[in-house]
A and B are shown apart, each in its own frame.
Chain A
Amino acid sequence: MGAAVARQSSAAIVWLASFPKSGNTWFRIFLANLAAGESGPADINNLDERGGIASSRQEFEAVTMLDSGLLSHDDIDNLRPRVYQAMAADESGQRWIKVHDAYTQTPDGEPLLGQDVARAAVYLVRDPRDVAVSLSCHNSTSIDDAIQLMNAADGALCGSRKGFATQLRQKLLGWSGHVTSWLDQRDVPVHLVRYEDLQLSPAACFGAAVGFAGRAATLGEIERAIQHADFAALQRQEIAKGFGERVSRTAPFFRAGRSGGWAEELSAEQAHAIEQCHGAVMSRLGYQF
């Protein structure tokens, strides 16, 4: 979890890492509003944070020149560290890149996300019972399907080989595996942020996270960005103009955003299935059950 400030590093990249539906987009919108300053609030469909996602197929192909559709998932993974090194070498400022991959090693045995590529990682975590509800709405699947993905130690996004996924495969390792892969690795200084704490004390939590990564910002700038990234404001933007990152055709992306909502939406069996599988890591993170 690291100290208040990451080790001194000239690396440009900051990983904004999380299991899906754990507040990553909210954090990116906060960053976009921090960058927008007085000209905010940022348009959710035109976020000027240009960070992108680590599993971008387009960026992989632009850097390697190769057709990723002709490469196996493992061969792609073996190349990914080189891609991030090339991206970092091209970067002059600070670039926050979204990551849903668990922190893993490539088949060749090096960190998937490269060595000495990132100055820091901010790892967002959310109560897995709330994640299950949000994930099922986002993917338009049943809650049981969402729980299955969260409980599967070999779970992945975009892992099919029958069709062309728009992103590269992302190994998730299940919810617990994802959390521990990031928190227990020693390659990148990592700052843990609980979604629930972001809601309770946004200025302190957002401020500590950007400070850890070496992004200078005053309290006033942080508070303004938080106000512009307020959940109700994001919902209003989505209702008025839609949101390009929404996957479900029926459920809005900015749905409820509240913590503890799982108690009304999960059956006792569903909650138990999550607690049984992830109890140890939930306890470690202070989630009670």
Chain B
Amino acid sequence: MYNYLISGLPVSSEIELPGAIATAGQTEDSAVSIRYASVAAALDDAAVSGEIARGPTWEMAGETFLLRVPRVARFLITAGREIALELEPDSTARDAAGFVLGTAFGILLHQRGAMVLHGAAAAKDGRAMAICGVSGAGKSTLAAALCREGYSFVTDDICVIGLNAAREPVVWPDGRQLKLWAQSIKRLDLGERRGEAVRDSFEKYYVTPCGNAVDRPRLSAIYVLREARPPFQEGLERLTLPDALRRLDYEAYRPGLRAKIGQRPEMLSYAATVLGHAKVFMLSRPRGFEHLPETVAALNAHWDALG
């Protein structure tokens, strides 16, 4: 049995999860259990409560969510507490691990009513910035580049915003490794920090970022990455509170999922609390590795001025 702390939750797992924060085993205290089990290809109408909603790769009823990843595994995610998985023939635990830490855990966090953004996060001077944006926007690459400039790595793909005792927003670390494509690793000169491939025959790898690990830094800003191309001019633009609230919704991890699972009524006041401390900016910058140093410099200067 493996034991981890993922997005602030003690997790006991029968499957090894590369990059997750390993802890000394205290299985009985685990909030989440990940185990091998027989998982049917479809939900059983008689066994679940409520109507079954269906998508091409998933079925959902109440607090039960079935996820089918072709040629990898089937996952049954229940009540924010358990992920049961059955590997497909010829698949491996390593193939499944990326999906456990990604979509399956994202669904589980939504079931728990957490505020989950699709983004990376890095921290400096005890303050964290979340970096959001669509898939392929360059979130992980920018986080890795910031870590080369003295920032600490907090999270890669799933960014859970919690509140500390003073009711300030904090970012829960989700692991100790980034997932980067071979091209990014080469351009950022991180070859020596490269770990295993996320899946066999994939040129995407686990990478240990530069900088120290940090626990639950305060969230000061959310930057939403987008390409500077018409109509968007290069630069940073702060969002007004109503726009920032909408943006928080939009940048949720799989926002459609939250709508399907149902949003708890207290989430709006939670979001308002977060935005009372964290500012939201649109960061429009040119794409391409050749522009990365200037983006990092501009972001760093902005971050320092933000105080």
Contact = CB atoms under 8 A, between A and B. Distances in A.
Interface of A: 43, 45-46, 57-58, 61-72, 75, 78-79, 82-83, 85-86, 161-166, 241-244, 246
29 contacts: A45-B230, A57-B135, A62-B255, A64-B55, A65-B55, A65-B57, A65-B58, A65-B107, A66-B69, A66-B99, A66-B103, A67-B98, A69-B179, A69-B204, A71-B70, A72-B201, A75-B70, A79-B57, A83-B56, A161-B203, A162-B181, A162-B182, A163-B181, A164-B136, A164-B181, A165-B136, A242-B230, A244-B230, A244-B232
A45 B199 contact: no
A161 B184 contact: no
B202 A161 contact: yes
Nearest to A61: B135
A70 B135 contact: no
Question: Lowest 4 CB-CB distances: which A-B pairs, in order?
Answer: A82-B56, A242-B230, A163-B183, A45-B231
Contacts of A64: 55-58
Contacts of A161: 202-203
Interface in B83-142: 98-99, 102-103, 107, 134-136
B102 to A, nearest CB: 5
Contacts of A72: 201-202
Contact of B103 (A63, A65, A86): A65
B48 interface: no
A74 to B, nearest CB: 9
Contacts of B136: 57, 164-166
Q: Which of B56, B57, B135 has the most CB of A within 10 A?
A: B56
Contacts of B182: 162-163
A244 B226 CA distance: 12
Contacts of A61: 135, 254
A242 B229 contact: yes
A82 B68 CA distance: 13
B5 interface: no
Given A57-B136, A65-B107, A244-B231, A70 B98 contact: yes
B256 interface: yes
B160 interface: no
B55 A86 contact: yes
B198 interface: yes
B256 A62 contact: yes
Nearest to A167: B136
Contacts of B134: 57-58
Given A65-B254, A163-B181, A70 B230 contact: no
A79 B102 contact: no
A162 B202 CA distance: 8
A67 to B, nearest CB: 5
Contacts of B184: 163
Contact of A67 (B58, B70, B102): B102
A64 to B, nearest CB: 5
B67 A65 contact: yes
Given A162-B183, A242-B230, A244-B230, A58 B135 contact: yes
Contacts of A86: 55-56
B71 interface: yes
Contact of A70 (B102, B183, B203): B102
Contacts of A69: 135, 179, 181, 204
A66 B229 CA distance: 28
Contacts of A57: 134-136
A114 B13 CA distance: 38
B210 to A, nearest CB: 21
B135 A78 contact: no
Given A65-B257, A86-B55, A246-B229, A70 B198 contact: yes
Contacts of A164: 135-136, 181
B57 A70 contact: no
Nearest to B118: A61
B225 to A, nearest CB: 12
B58 to A, nearest CB: 6
B230 A241 contact: yes
Contacts of B256: 62-63, 65
Contacts of B183: 162-163
A85 B57 CA distance: 12
Nearest to A163: B183
Nearest to B104: A65
A73 to B, nearest CB: 11
Nearest to A237: B230
A71 B202 CA distance: 9
Given A46-B231, A70-B198, A75-B70, 20 more contacts: A45-B230, A57-B136, A58-B134, A61-B135, A62-B254, A62-B255, A63-B56, A65-B256, A66-B69, A66-B103, A69-B179, A69-B204, A70-B102, A82-B56, A163-B184, A164-B136, A164-B181, A242-B229, A242-B231, A244-B229
Interface in B207-231: 229-231
Given A58-B134, A61-B135, A79-B56, A67 B230 contact: no
Nearest to B257: A65
Interface in B274-295: none
A66 B256 CA distance: 12
Contacts of A78: 70
Nearest to B141: A164
